[in-house]
Amino acid sequence: MYETLLHFIFATTLQIMKSIFILLTTLLMTYSGLQAQQELLRPAPIAATANPVKLTLSGKITDAKTGEPLPGASVYFTDDKIGAVADGSGHFTLTNIPAGHHVVEISHTGYSTLVEHIELNADMQKDFALSSVITENQGVIVTGVSGATSIRKSPVPVTSIRKTQLLQTPSTNIIDAISKVPGVSQISTGPAISKPVIRGLGYNRVVVINEGVRQEGQQWGDEHGIEIDEMSVAKAEILKGPASLMYGSDALAGVINFITNVPVANGVLKGNILTNYQSNNGLFGINGSIAGNKNGLNWNLYGTHKTAGNYRNKYDGRVLNSGFNEKNFGGYIGVNKSWGYSHIIFSRFDQNLGLTEGDRDDATGKFILFAGSPLERIATDDDLKTRTLFVPKQRIQHNKLVLDNNFAFGKSRLKVNLGYQQNQRQEFGNPEDPEEKELFFDLKTFNYNVQWQLPKMKEWHTTIGFNGMSQQNQNKGAEVLIPEYNLFDIGAFIYAQRFFKKGTLSGGLRFDNRSVNSKELMEGTEVKFASFTRSFSNVSGSVGISYEPAEAVTVKANIARGFRAPTLAELASNGAHEGTNRYEYGNNDLSSETSLQMDGGIELNYEHFSINLSAFYNQMNNFIFYRKLEAAGGGDSLVDNGGEFIPAFLFSQHNAKLSGLEFSVDIHPHPLDWLHFENSFSFVRGRFDDRLDGFKTGSDNIPLVPAPRWNSEIRTDFKKAGKVLRNLYASVEMAKTFDQNNFFSGFDTETATNGYTLLNAGLGTDIVGKSKTICSIYFSANNITDAAYQNHLSRLKYAAENMVTGRNGVFNAGRNFSVKLNIPLEFKLK
């Protein structure tokens, strides 16, 4: 019955959105006609488009309670990528601002972020006052919307993570750094490899954006992470829920947007040196950056080097071949003027990492090196202590070049973002020939995104646009897992926001088409991959509202339809996957996944406490998953892979549904504003519509769904502590992960996972001198009690059994101490 009701609601919603679309089109045509008539009567102002007016915003930023100026506070126009910093008296001046509607973000360390919507038609003087009571998750976001929007006005749950929060969190990669957010998890293969999971969905169901371009690597694979330099990220935005309206295929679960390059204020040269050491695996990382802005000509350049040895835990000791190293660099150069901006962005990510197999000697329980080869032997202490990477290992290189443009035409804007990416992934798996590239994927992608933001019409902010990509994959390795292919993807959309006094209505429609041309491959006289062509089309849409009945209360509701076309791996795999220890078979009969998700939430931000509750229900059709194949005589179907027999898996699909919630509460009793007692809980339940692998013995649980999680933290924050310490904080956290007994037992794919509790702590401060920050220090301790545990989404959980101890798989990292030192540098440009 509820399915019929859902389909009725969705059909009705589509009809309403269709009517809105027709209405907006009619209004646009009428508006354009009136504008054309007015232009005929007013020839003189036409020159304003060719020579845009240079507008200025100036004012003073103060403490809302004391009235004291706040030197160093920032004012930032996100859409225009321009900003200013308050001087010693709290004053700021921002020039070269295009006319029209703007969303302004005012922020300062130790204060709540303030977001203002302003209409700028002439030079403006406006003062801002910031509250010292920190309200979590406030600010401006650009993810899932056509223009900068306040988090409060977004109808879907969005989390913004700033650089300071990232620095305070010990992590070995960027996905690990954001995985504490309620509703966000990670599929991991040791410290170097993490893939994002949002509300129980991962892989190609999560779109990752970096510098306005969707990251295209080999997202379908288990054994590599996101090719983005963790130490250079300035901000992360996480949207939870379908976002196909703006991003097309794949954004079923949500979007993670990493922002690396943020222009500095005019007349400033800024540098930064960041170092990190972690005790568990001896990780050492160093990052340096320099950025400047001279009369609108601005640039940034960064570089990172990171190296780590084998991690360790209480049960396994040091885990063989879990080390990694990275050498990354990037930056941009561009110009910002009153007509908008144009930036050229570049980056290179270069990572080498070992692939942990977990094979052990039956007699001693020690790890085996080069298992299954003539060189097989028990790993020595030197093997475990070295930072040398053994076979199997891999190298991932990701090069990216982006042209990011935003042009102002009167009160409308044209955004053009073009990107080229090359992702090369090489797997080395032959101990007798360590340089042989068993797998070598060479993926080239051209991304395009064009958006026209129309002039505001009676508080309606409307954007029309199209985006997509062209992609080509080549195989250059000794073995082949997926065929070579060409892919072309395009989608057109209309998105609108209507601002009311106490609410915001957002929604839109989109049509997508993705075509895939897979090429034939012969191995001798046999066809390994047959050629085929597939096309996938879909209509997506969403409509939602954010309602603010009171200053401290926000209520949100949204309904959205998303889709995901099958990947080439799901359609056509036929080979052994070295990093996953399985033989994969694709299924060319797969259809697109589609979802209908409803979200609802409420946020309360009062003087003494803050509460945030979000819940969702997601009905998915044609959910794609892989399952083990059974042998004719029972047991697993095994494939001979060069003398080693590995289990065979086939991609399949079935209808499913997911539901869950995220809840957080922050108690900060006045006048003890420096004290925070923060708690968060996240839960997701995923089920197929029917039991698979037998009615009685099978399972209806979706695979790779994270266990429920509860985090509780006591934290103190002091803006001033003596003469030389600023922004001093200390925290103690309990992170409880519950048992996961709702696992996909069908085809012996998953097993239950025991819960665990981790105790963590943190301490940090800014050290100042002569009113300037000399450096910032961040100490943290994770898993203080050195608990031995396995996360349900850890792939190493399914490594071989230790016959000596009887334990299955490899355990997660044990106790870890981390220290970060950040040294900022700043100079005035004459």
> According to the 3-state scheme, what is the secondary structure of 785-824?
CCCCCCCCCEHHHHCCECCCCCCECCCCCCCEEEEEEEEE
- The larger pLDDT score, comparing residue 754 to residue 53, is at 754
At residue 20, does pLDDT exceed 50? no
The answer to whether residues 301 and 345 touch, using CB atoms and an 8 Å cutoff, is no
168/18: higher pLDDT: 168
Buried b (16+ CB within 10 A) or exposed e, 745-766: bbbebbeebeebebbbbbbbbb
Global pTM? 0.90
Q: Which residues pair with 57 in a beta bridge?
A: 94, 124
> Residue 506: which H helix or E strand, with range?
strand 503-518
Q: Averaging pLDDT over each range in 525-529, 653-657, 669-673, 719-723, which range is the top one? A: 653-657
Higher per-residue pLDDT: 633 or 278? 278
Q: What are phi and psi of 22, to 5 degrees?
A: -65, -40
Residue 697 confidence (pLDDT): 64
Categorize the per-residue pLDDT at 172 as very low, low, confident or very high, splitting at 50, 70 and 90: confident
Taking residues 359-377, report their average pLDDT: 94
Query: pLDDT band at residue 18, thresholds of 50, 70 and 90?
Result: very low
Q: For residue 9, what pLDDT is reported? A: 38
51 vs 54: CA distance, rounded Å: 9
In this predicted structure, the answer to whether residue 207 has a pLDDT above a threshold of 50 is: yes
Determine contact, residues 547/509, Cβ cutoff 8 Å.
no
pLDDT at position 752 is 95
Strand (E) or helix (H) holding 403: strand 393-409
Cis omega (within 30 of 0) for bond into 52: no
Q: What's the confidence (pLDDT) of residue 642? A: 64
Please tell me the number of Cα atoms within 13 Å of 57 on its side-chain side.
29
C-alpha pair distances (Å), 319 with each of 222, 532, 799:
19, 43, 12
11-20, 610-619, 688-697, 754-763: segment of lowest average pLDDT: 11-20
**pLDDT (tens digit per residue) in 569-581:** 899 988 776 555 6
Spatial neighbors of 106 by CB under 8 A, at least 6 apart, are 61, 73, 74, 75, 76, 113, 114, 115, 116, 128, 130
Mean pLDDT, to the nearest integer, of 773-782?
A: 96
Bigger pLDDT: 536 vs 692:
536
User: How many Å apart are CA 389 and CA 353, to the nearest integer?
Assistant: 7
Helices (H) and strands (E) counted in the chain, each on its own, are 7, 50
Token duo for residue 418: 């073009």
Place of tokens 């997601």: 618
- Residue 820's pLDDT band, with cuts at 50, 70 and 90, is very high
Say yes or no to pLDDT of 31 above 60: no
pLDDT digits (tens, 9 = 90+) for 763-776: 999 999 988 899 99
What is the per-residue burial (b if ≥16 Cβ within 10 Å, else e) of 314-349? eebebbbbbbbbbbbbbbbebebbbbbbbbebbbbb
Rounded to whole angstroms, the Cα distance separating 240 from 601 reads: 12
Note the pLDDT of residue 144. 86
Query: Are 208 and 216 within 8 A, CB to CB?
Result: no
Confidence tier at 42 by pLDDT (50, 70, 90):
very low
pLDDT at 406 exceeding the cut of 90:
yes
pLDDT, one tens digit per residue, over 491-508 is: 999 999 999 989 999 999
| pLDDT, mean over the chain | 88
d(CA 456, CA 461) in angstroms, rounded, equals 5
Confidence of residue 22 (pLDDT cuts 50, 70, 90): very low
Please work out, in degrees rounded to the nearest 5, the angle formed at the alpha carbon of residue 543 by the alpha carbons of 538 and 545: 160
Residue 3's pLDDT band (cuts 50, 70, 90)? very low
Q: Are 635 and 616 in contact (CB under 8 A)?
A: no
Residue with tokens 């979802």: 595
How sure is the predictor about 583, in pLDDT bands with cuts at 50, 70 and 90? confident
What pLDDT digit, counting tens, does each position of 454-466 carry? 998 888 999 999 9
* 261-272 confidence digits (pLDDT tens): 999 999 999 999
Q: How far apart are CA 796 and CA 194, in angstroms?
A: 12
The total of other beta-carbon atoms located within 10 Å of residue 395's CB is 16
What end-to-end distance do the CA atoms of the chain give, in Å? 70
Q: Give me 392's structure tokens.
A: 């199997």
Q: What is the mean pLDDT of residues 330-347?
A: 95
Question: What region, left, alpha or beta, does residue 766 occupy, with left being phi > 0 and alpha being psi -120 to 50 degrees?
Answer: beta
- Residue 369 host element (H or E): strand 368-369
Alpha-carbon 726 to chain mean position: 30
Widest Cα–Cα separation across the chain: 93
Closest CA to 733 of 777, 793, 680: 680
Contacts of 5 (CB under 8 A, 6+ apart): none
Q: Say which DSSP state 467 is in.
A: E
Give the separation between CA 6 and CA 529, rounded to whole angstroms.
Answer: 40
The confidence score (pLDDT) of residue 133 equals 64
The residues with which 638 forms a beta bridge, in sequence order, are 647
